[in-house]
Amino acid sequence: MSDVRAVDDDVTGAVRRTLTVLLAEREAAARAVDPLFAGDLAARVSRFTVSGGKFGRSRLLWWAGRACGAPGAGAPPGVDSVLRVAAALELIQTCALVHDDVMDAAPVRRGRPALHADVSAQYTESAPGPRGARLGEASAILAGDLALAWADDVVAETDLPPGTARRVRELWRAMRTEMIAGQYLDVHGEATAGRSVDRALRAACLKSARYSVEHPLALGAALAGADRSTTAALRTAGRCVGLAFQLRDDLLDAFGDPRVTGKPTGDDIRAGKPTYLAALAHTRASAASDASSVAVLDATLGRLDASDAEVERVRRVFVSTGARDAVEAAIHRLTARGLRHLDTAGLRPGGRERLAALLRAVASAPRAPDTATPAGPPPAVATGTPTPGAAPEAGTAAPSRTAPGSASGPPAPGTPPRVAEAGRDPRPGQPAARLRAAPHSTAAPGEHPPPPGSPSAGPEADSGPPGTGGPPPRAPRFDVSGGEACP
């Protein structure tokens, strides 16, 4: 078990070393095909994959496997096999990011030129102007395809027991398809100015919750041969916390401090990204007949040339409609529920505690300070962009952050956190209702419906639109605690 302990101490380093070996082999094969292809594409894919990122998905996979008992002493799959699957996850993430930068026309990634921009710059003299830009975009698409092909090859060539291999392949196929589906919903909503709360949540679940957290945990469980109930509890925990991760990222884009996040604030607003935050603000403003707020959103969301002042007005609408506070509360509820499901999974104590620390880190960030009035500029969230699994390695303490609405930090590993909300929560680890909303629903994920006929049962029960003294409109609420369904 000495190899296992060494990986425990530095999962990121172990996965990076595995990638270095795997990618050296593939670069050599690429050079045999064509040196130009190898230098321009294969080498860039290798550098991007090995040198960047925090390897969050691989760490989730490793610790889910450890918490479920893998790799065991002399029992397959061994350490090398688990690390290979973890390395494949980093390659598929390279595919996703390289393609995402092309779709978003993003010139920078991880503080360096994005791959498409880097290729364009290399050929400035021989392919100037639009030809160079087109070459860069085409190269990035091909580089992403190459990363995906390599990821598939690594999984296919990994030595696994037949039953384990079958489960891993099934999860891998589902993950690839759902990742692409979520990305398509994202670009479709951006292009069509979609403002549906349901569609925003659906995209967030497929693109982030399942791909970034749930599937890495499920792959770790599959490699360990975990039983059905343990796997279901892990998947549910991952889905809840993964959705919280995406909601946190949406808040940071709108309210984060660029000096800390490393990216401009308001990019999602200008791009018209169909985020849950924007959809909820629009739905609440419409339900409250707040024509001025609806006009601000309609006039600015999706306008790449929107001024800083116009983006600031959108932020104020996010605050005045109660959307920001609702999203912050949803993050807390989802994280707490995810940890409750984790506690039911019957995991090994050491691995469970590491996994709990990772899941807390996925969605944790300081809450934006309250504003005295929505008329003033919303404050910034002074924190970095969350990365799945960005928790300390072995031997260090998990970050201690106070959850929204609580007076103390997260509960100790293994302690079920309290969920301060009305309604009955389904038993952790068991399937529950799909995440669905009634038409024009204005509530946040994780909330339960008010009793029929209650004053908060719909927007018509509220005393007025934001800013008139009445509470923000409310309507039937979402429930995301279930085991099998995404929105």
Task: Report the DSSP beta bridge partners of residue 112.
Answer: 109
Asked whether residue 99 is assigned to any structural domain, the reply reads: yes
Asked whether residue 486 is assigned to any structural domain, the reply reads: no
pLDDT at 312 over 80: yes
Asked whether residue 230 is assigned to any structural domain, the reply reads: yes
Please tell me the total count of domains within the chain: 1
What's the sign of the alpha-carbon dihedral 100, 104, 105, 111? negative
Q: Which residues contact 279 (CB under 8 A, 6 or more apart)?
A: 194, 195, 196, 197, 199, 200
State the average pLDDT over residues 307-330: 97
- In tens, the pLDDT along 249-259 reads 999 999 998 87
Mean pLDDT of the chain: 79
Asked whether residue 426 is assigned to any structural domain, the reply reads: yes
Please give the DSSP secondary-structure letter assigned to residue 381: B
What is the pTM for the complete model shown?
A: 0.78
Asked whether residue 158 is assigned to any structural domain, the reply reads: yes
**CATH number of the domain enclosing 196:** 1.10.600.10
76: confidence class by pLDDT, cuts 50, 70, 90: low
Percent of the chain with pLDDT over 90: 64
Asked whether residue 232 is assigned to any structural domain, the reply reads: yes
Amino acid at 162: P
Rounded to whole angstroms, how far apart are CA atoms 322 and 64? Answer: 36
- In tens, the pLDDT along 227-267 reads 999 999 999 999 999 999 999 999 999 999 887 776 778 99
For residue 265, CA distances in Å to 169, 193, 379 come to 39, 20, 12
Lowest mean pLDDT among 216-220, 351-355, 451-455: 451-455
Asked whether residue 431 is assigned to any structural domain, the reply reads: yes
Asked whether residue 487 is assigned to any structural domain, the reply reads: no
State the average pLDDT over residues 56-84: 87
Percent of the chain with pLDDT over 70: 73
Amino acid at 318: F
| pLDDT number for residue 445 | 59
Lowest mean pLDDT among 52-56, 405-409, 442-446: 405-409
74: confidence class by pLDDT, cuts 50, 70, 90: low
Q: Which domain holds residue 25?
A: 2-461
| pLDDT number for residue 170 | 97
